[in-house]
Amino acid sequence: MPDIQKLIEKADSEKERIQLLKQQREQLEEVIRYESRRQVLLARREQFQEDGVQLLTDLESVDAELSAIDDSVAGSPFRDEIAQLQDRLEARREGSVVLQFGSRHLTLDRDLVLGLPFGRIILFNLRTIQSLLGKRQQTVENLESD
């Protein structure tokens, strides 16, 4: 019987070792998962930093080129006209209505029009007028070029 008891104790201790090894393996797997994720994130961070440096360099180059163009346009008689065109384009991007009557331009703020009673209907009608005037202008330009 003592041999059987020794074998049982040995089997129990082997079970405990196996259980302990399983726990250590699980912990090691978790550490490896975290470390691999960490390495991926560090690599991405480094790539983003490199891209950021390149983007900043490109941005500085574009700024210098824009400054040179602005300096050359500053002496041009068309500078004011270009600024007005840019203002009208920005107003259209923001949703405002820009109407042209001959050489005059009228810009109506979208939010201001929507604040009026029946604002949506008014805005719709103004956009329709804007569209029709734009098509009419294109037709006139096409006729003049023929």
Residues 84 and 43 in one domain: no
Same domain assignment for residues 129 and 59:
no
* Statement to judge: residues 36 and 6 lie in one domain: yes
- pLDDT tens for residues 46-58? 999 999 999 999 9
* Structural domains of the chain, count: 2
- The whole-number average pLDDT for the span 105-134 is 80
d(CA 74, CA 105): 23
Both structure tokens of 40 = 């991926």
Alpha carbon distance 31, 36 (integer Å)? 8
In which domain, by residue range, is 106 found? 80-145
* pLDDT recorded at residue 44: 96
Answer with the one of 75, 107, 124 that is the final residue of a domain.
75
pTM reported for the whole predicted model: 0.40
Per-residue pLDDT tens for 52-76?
999 999 999 999 998 888 777 777 7
End residue of a domain, out of 20, 43, 75: 75
The CA distances from residue 53 to 16, 47, 49, 61, 86, in Å, are 55, 10, 6, 12, 30
Q: Are residues 92 and 53 in the same domain?
A: no
pLDDT of residue 41: 96
Do 67 and 86 lie in one domain? The reply is: no
Q: Same domain, yes or no, for 2 and 70?
A: yes
pLDDT > 70: percent of the chain: 87
Q: Confidence class of residue 26 from pLDDT cuts 50, 70 and 90?
A: very high
Residues 66 and 22 placed together within one structural domain of the fold: yes
Q: Are residues 137 and 90 in the same domain?
A: yes
User: Do 66 and 114 belong together in one domain?
Assistant: no
